[in-house]
Structure 1
Amino acid sequence: MIDRGSEQRPRARKEGLLIERLPDEVLVYDLDRKTAHCLNGSAALIWNHCDGKTSVEGILSFLQQKSQEKVSQDVVWLGLDHLYEARLIETRVVRPGVKGKLSRRDLVKRIGLAVSIPLVASILAPTASAALSCVGRPCPGGTGCGLCSCVASLCL
Structure 2
Amino acid sequence: MSGKFNSISPTELPSFYAQTKPNHIPGLEVHSIANELLIYSLELEVSVTLNASAQVIWNLCNGQSSITEIIASLAQSHGLNPEEIASDVITTVTRLQQVGLLELSTQAQ
What range is the shorter-chain TM-score in?
Answer: 0.5 to 0.7
SS in 2 for 1:9: strand
| Equivalent residue, structure 2, for 1:78 | 91
| Equivalent residue, structure 2, for 1:43 | 54
Contact 1:9 1:55 in 2 (8 A): yes
Rounded to whole Å, the distance in 2 between the matches of 1:86 and 1:21 is 20
2:29 pairs with 6, 13, 18, which one? 18
Correspondence list, 1:133-152, <5 A = none
Cα deviation, residue 59, structure 1: 0.9
Answer 1 or 2: higher relative contact order, Cα 8 Å, separation at least 6.
Answer: 2
SS in 2 for 1:47: helix
Please tell me the residue identity of whatever aligns with 2:56. Answer: L
Cα deviation, residue 49, structure 1: 0.8
Contact 1:81 1:92 in 2 (8 A): no
Share of identical aligned residues, percent? Answer: 26
Name the one with the larger helix percent. Answer: 2
Contact 2:22 2:63 in 1 (8 A): yes
Cα deviation, residue 35, structure 1: 2.5
Residue ranges of structure 2 left out of the alignment (5+ in a row): 9-15
Rounded to whole Å, the distance in 2 between the matches of 1:23 and 1:68 is 26
| 1:61-113 deviations in Å (ceiling 9; x for gaps) | 332245443333122111111111221111388xxxxxxxxxxxxxxxxxxxx
1:55 aligns with 2:66: yes
Rounded to whole Å, the distance in 1 between the matches of 2:62 and 2:69 is 11
CA RMSD of aligned residues (A): 2.5
| Equivalent residue, structure 1, for 2:3 | 2
| Equivalent residue, structure 2, for 1:130 | none
Change (3 A) 1:91 1:16: same
Cα deviation, residue 23, structure 1: 5.3
Rounded to whole Å, the distance in 2 between the matches of 1:49 and 1:19 is 15
Rounded to whole Å, the distance in 2 between the matches of 1:72 and 1:33 is 29
SS in 1 for 2:58: helix
1:88 aligns with 2:101: yes
Residue ranges of structure 1 left out of the alignment (5+ in a row): 94-156
TM, length-normalised to structure 1: 0.49
